[in-house]
Amino acid sequence: MSKTKSKAASGTIALNKRARHEYFLETKFEAGVALQGWEVKSIREGKVNIRDSYVVLKNGEAFLIGSQIQPLLSASSHVVCDPDRTRKLLLKQREIDKLIGATEREGYAVVATAMYWKKHLVKLEIYLAKGKKTHDKRDTVKERDWQRDKARVMKQNVR
């Protein structure tokens, strides 16, 4: 089974794996994304990158900055396409208020971790996150290695 088939079957469009390494992810939110027609066609083809993206909150609205959606040559010949444009996130006002309060008062960052399909809609998974220090990253790697070694030992003991 090819890589794209399993990705499409799960509904995942793009992942930001670096976010789990760089931040302590705490509170999860699901946001819709305001897209243009050519962007939806490109997303269906998998031409999306959210690795360097982040969420900005201003004037009581949330915006996704830094995501890239590469236009298809066949679908976007009649439209002026900007792959790096700022996209509005669709959240309830109560959720936006929680995000604004946490970022302004408590020093949290809002990080995009995944983009996926939910029925026919494109959704973005965002988290309230605290940045990790270098020693925290090392602890995470050490814990992951220990879990892997422990599983390997347990597997050999069963045999």
Sign of the four-CA dihedral 130, 135, 141, 142: negative
Could you tell me which CATH number the domain at 8-132 has? Answer: 2.40.280.10
Q: What is the pLDDT along the chain (159 residues), one digit of tens a residue?
A: 445 555 555 689 999 988 888 888 999 999 999 998 888 889 998 899 999 888 999 999 999 999 999 988 776 567 778 888 899 999 999 999 999 999 999 889 999 999 999 998 999 999 999 887 877 778 888 888 999 998 998 888 877
Delimit the domains of the chain by residue range: 8-132
> Residue type at 132?
K
Helix %, strand %, coil % for the chain, to 5?
40, 35, 30
